[in-house]
């Protein structure tokens, strides 16, 4: 049985706080905890650093560049099973019946905020009130709002709900810059009782609005850029270690006393007064399990000594399942080149399902698939449950911490999610088939996102050639257009059959559903007396001392929004809890 070890101080000093993970929450924590010069803080990130003066153009820029998807910024071996598990109960059974998909998670300073689509949207007030109802005392909407405002520097609005002096700018591309396709969709939504508002912060009921983005003047502002600026990095009490992996947390009895790290080919142990795990919803529970915190029988099966038997570790894995229609745009509906942001309109509205909360659905209208000759001619309408109920789990695949965990999302396992996909697919198809939207599109089809499509979004000589030829064939119409669109459409799921045959529609949804890269919930925050709880409302791991978790993994339920802003809010609020002792 592998046992936790006591740290032996090597070349590193002892720190008051060690933060494991330089993602959206970790960067916030490093800034706030080191603001007091009496606190010594170390931030550890497995991926490369992005110092202010040397941020790669493909991160800083507002458009995809050739090295955007380079593997050094992602956990390249991470895979996930996305289908509903049904009666399959063990990883071996699942592996024998299903094939995993690549699941991109950031491995770079700033985490998801460095590589995501720069979407900055708060959840609804009801989301955070639900957290409090689930046992996360002090995390209701009125408690969280001041921390959202602390983060934001709103470049468009100054209202009682706005943050105006924070470290992360928020800006929007307003309708006067949208394409005719985006504007017509807004008109169609209004005709169906879903009003337009300029500022998503003001949303109370169903509404559509421009995307809020962590972007200033066409440049990304990640959590790393906003919180690890030059003056913060120059603090004598802050050490930033990039390209450093943490294999386990070291314990003395029930107290965390440091972390075991690998760096530059060496394995060492660093001491800490307190360890804060901020490695994300996939890797935070995995690190806890490798350190002896999790379901006791599972740890023992993997030859890991049990420090704390917490059955909630790795359970409650949530995401926003997503599917959509691809759209061929008519020339008059192409988005102007000067508009760098292809995401135009976001919509949050109520499905009306009797067992679901209000404003439970989301939809995204993109006026450009990619910044390429082919991508400019294609749009997308993606949709899915914003309040998803299907939950999966994460387990270890052996005692070696270098091996990625087993990840099963179990999408569509809750019938409410599948039912809402079906009704929404018909709702969206109705909009696309009717005026005013139909005037601006040549055709649309049930989309399935694949690696080949992702690769075409990257800028390269070969992709430019392929895209230019395909774009010319689309413009020519006739056989050429049909040939290009035929390559994009999955022949198992033609549009007319999807819309007329319930079984075909369900087949398309099951084959095409994917996550929106919003994993959360796997180190659930709640009442310490609840056996599902992993951390208490101040971030402390139940059953041990000197250890906290602060990232998207602590969310008891999934908010109706992209998770980046909420994750930074968690970093801000947890920093206050930690500093109060």
Residues with catalytic roles = 518
Rounded Cα–Cα distance for residues 238 and 564 (Å): 24
CA 362 to chain centre: 15
Roughly how many angstroms between the first and final C-alpha of the chain, as a whole number? Answer: 34
Instruction: Taking each helix axis as running N to C, give the angle between helix 415-433 and helix 502-512, from 0 to 180 degrees, rounded to the nearest 10.
Output: 110
Residues 520 and 112 sit within 8 Å (Cβ to Cβ): no
Residue tagged 């005037």 (tokens): 439
CB-CB neighbours of 282 under 10 Å: 23
Distance CA 484, CA 467 (A): 10
Interatomic CA distance for residues 95 and 143, integer angstroms:
43
CA distance 224 to 114: 8
Whether 31 contacts 22, CB under 8 Å:
no
Give the residue among 511, 478, 481, 480 at the shortest CA–CA distance from 493: 511
| CA–CA gap between residue 100 and residue 79 (Å, rounded) | 6
Q: CA-based angle 193:196:201, to the nearest 5?
A: 120
Which long-range CB contacts under 8 A does 188-195 form with residues at least 24 apart? Answer: 188/431, 188/434, 188/436, 188/437, 189/345, 189/347, 189/431, 192/431, 194/347, 194/349
Q: Which residues contact 301 (CB under 8 A, 6 or more apart)?
A: none
Residue found by looking up tokens 């995307």 in the block = 211
Look up residue 5 and give its two tokens. 């070890």
Structure tokens at 243: 């390209």
Half-sphere exposure for 475 (CA within 13 Å, toward CB): 14
3-state secondary structure of 44: strand
Which of 354, 274, 328, 300 lies closest to 485, judged by CA? Answer: 328
């Amino acid at each position: 049985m592998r046992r936790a070890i006591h740290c032996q101080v090597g070349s590193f000093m002892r720190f008051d706080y060690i933060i494991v993970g330089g993602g959206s929450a970790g960067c916030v924590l490093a800034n706030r905890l080191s603001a007091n010069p009496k606190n010594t803080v170390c931030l550890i990130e497995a991926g490369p650093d992005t110092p202010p003066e040397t941020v790669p153009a493909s991160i800083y820029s507002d458009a995809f560049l050739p090295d955007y998807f380079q593997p050094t910024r992602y956990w390249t071996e991470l895979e996930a099973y996305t289908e509903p598990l049904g009666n399959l109960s063990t990883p071996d059974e699942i592996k024998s019946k299903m094939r995993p998909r690549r699941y991109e998670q950031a491995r770079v300073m700033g985490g998801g905020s460095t590589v995501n689509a720069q979407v900055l949207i708060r959840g609804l007030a009801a989301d955070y009130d639900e957290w409090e109802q689930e046992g996360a005392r002090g995390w209701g909407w009125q408690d969280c709002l001041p921390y959202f405002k602390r983060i934001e520097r709103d470049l468009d609005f100054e209202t009682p709900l706005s943050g105006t002096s924070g470290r992360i700018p928020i800006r929007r591309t307003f309708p006067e810059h949208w394409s005719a396709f985006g504007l017509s969709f807004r008109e169609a939504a209004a005709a169906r009782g879903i009003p337009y508002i300029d500022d998503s912060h003001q949303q109370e009921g169903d509404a559509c609005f421009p995307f809020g983005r962590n972007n200033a003047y066409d440049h990304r502002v990640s959590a790393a850029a906003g919180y690890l600026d030059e003056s913060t990095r120059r603090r004598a009490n802050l050490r930033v270690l990039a390209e450093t992996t943490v294999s386990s947390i070291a314990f003395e009895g029930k107290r965390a006393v440091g972390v075991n790290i690998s760096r530059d080919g060496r394995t060492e142990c660093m001491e800490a007064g307190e360890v804060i795990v901020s490695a994300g919803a996939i890797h935070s529970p995995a690190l806890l399990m490798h350190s002896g915190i999790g379901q006791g029988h599972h740890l023992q099966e993997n030859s890991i000594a049990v420090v704390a038997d917490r059955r909630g570790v790795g359970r409650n894995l949530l995401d926003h399942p997503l599917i959509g229609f691809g759209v061929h745009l008519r020339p008059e509906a192409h988005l102007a080149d000067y508009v760098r942001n292809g995401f135009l309109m976001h919509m949050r509205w109520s499905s009306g399902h009797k067992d679901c909360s209000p404003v439970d659905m989301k939809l995204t209208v993109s006026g450009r698939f990619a910044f390429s000759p082919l991508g400019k001619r294609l749009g997308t309408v993606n949709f899915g449950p914003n309040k998803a109920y299907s939950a999966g789990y994460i387990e270890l695949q052996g005692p070696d911490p270098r091996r990625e965990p087993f990840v099963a999302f179990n999408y569509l396992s809750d019938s409410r999610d599948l039912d809402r996909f079906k009704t929404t697919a018909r709702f969206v198809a109705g909009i696309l088939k009717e005026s005013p939207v139909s005037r601006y599109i040549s055709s649309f089809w049930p989309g399935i996102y694949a690696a080949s499509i992702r690769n075409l979004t990257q800028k390269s000589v070969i992709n430019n050639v392929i895209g230019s030829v395909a774009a010319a064939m689309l413009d020519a119409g006739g056989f050429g257009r049909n040939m290009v669109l035929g390559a994009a459409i999955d022949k198992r799921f033609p549009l007319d059959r999807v819309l007329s045959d319930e079984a075909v529609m369900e087949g398309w949804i099951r084959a095409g559903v994917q996550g929106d890269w919003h994993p959360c919930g796997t180190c659930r925050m709640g009442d310490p007396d609840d056996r599902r709880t992993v951390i208490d409302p101040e971030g402390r791991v139940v059953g041990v001392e000197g250890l906290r978790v602060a990232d998207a993994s602590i969310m008891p339920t999934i908010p109706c929004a992209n998770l980046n802003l909420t994750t930074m809010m968690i970093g801000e609020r947890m920093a206050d809890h930690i500093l109060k002792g």
